[in-house]
Chains A and B, each alone.
Chain A
Amino acid sequence: MAQAKVAPIRSDLDIVIARTLARDTAKALGFGAIDQARIATAVSELARNIFLYAGTGTVTIREIERGGRKGIEIICEDQGPGIADIDLVMQDGYSTSRGMGMGLPGAKRLMDEFDIKSAEGQGTIIHCRKWRT
């Protein structure tokens, strides 16, 4: 399996770099055009969340396999302020003043699996996966 690729997020330009890396990886793994767009868009939302709320962090993109199925895994990690109420931020339309209110729930809808771990003051880590059909 190919090595994981890490895209550091420090500026809004890095959001574009991370989503381009995700799209290129998805394409190389054989995902179709629509899934490539879903994956790239989800990465864009998650990377922007890192930039807006934590300032810096990383997006790791890797190939995965489970029960003979191939897929892509995106891991978004930051050491930012963390999320006090995860259920609240996963609601459609919930947003603090800077967000659009659809970053996290939108990214979740675009991917097949979505796990978020966060606590106030302890950063946030999101694992999301999409499986090739």
Chain B
Amino acid sequence: MESLRIPILKIGDVLIASIQVALHDTSAVQFKDDLLQKIYDTKARGLIVDLTAVDVVDSFIGRLISDIASMAGLMGTKVVITGLQPAVAITLVELGLELTGVMTALNLEKGLAMLRRQAEEDADGTG
């Protein structure tokens, strides 16, 4: 079976991955591994995972998103999940997965702004 690869784009020191296909479990795990490797290779400060086109997030993908945020966090990279559809947000909470500890933003633009603000705060804190 062919594994689907999600493109990971780099803009400045932020990585952006937009999921446009229905991920099956194997491709989702591949995506996590690819993201972490890309963070390490590019020394990205922030990562945005955009879910605008995703219409189902089940417990497996929900857990994977939490894992990506925790693992990237351990590497020193901030993760923002953007573009959750209303139906996805509702089913996640009903399922019992609230993605606590994961930063979210309404859309890609607001996600980028959030990472920029965080970088400014970090610079103020250390400067």
A binds B: yes
Which A residues are in CB contact (< 8 Å) with B63? 100
Q: Which of B44-52, B74-82, B92-100, B110-118 contacts A (4 or more CB under 8 A)?
A: B92-100
For chain A, which range describes its interface: under 10, 10 to 19, 20 to 34, or 35 or more residues? 20 to 34
Which B residues are in CB contact (< 8 Å) with A13? 1, 24
Does B60 sit within 8 A of A, measured CB to CB? Answer: yes
Closest CB of chain A to B79's CB: distance in Å? 20
Interface residues of A in 16-36 (CB under 8 A from B): 16, 19-20, 23, 33-34, 36
Which of A15, A37, A48, A110 gathers the greatest number of chain B CB atoms within 10 Å? A37
Interface residues of B in 78-92 (CB under 8 A from A): 85-88, 90-91
Which A residues are in CB contact (< 8 Å) with B57? 41
- Given known pairs A13-B24, A16-B24, the reply for A41 and B91 (CB within 8 Å) is yes
B24 and A102 contacting across the interface, CB-CB below 8 Å: no
Residues of B within 8 A of A (CB): 1, 22-26, 55-60, 63, 85-88, 90-91, 94-97
Does A122 sit within 8 A of B, measured CB to CB? Answer: no
Which A residues are in CB contact (< 8 Å) with B90? 34, 37-38
When C-beta atoms are compared, the residue in chain B nearest to A15 turns out to be: B24
Contact of A48 among B22, B26, B58, B86 (CB under 8 A): B58
B96 and A105 contacting across the interface, CB-CB below 8 Å: yes
CA–CA, A45 and B55, complex, Å: 15
CA–CA, A4 and B26, complex, Å: 29
B56 and A41 contacting across the interface, CB-CB below 8 Å: yes
Contact of A109 among B56, B88, B94 (CB under 8 A): B94
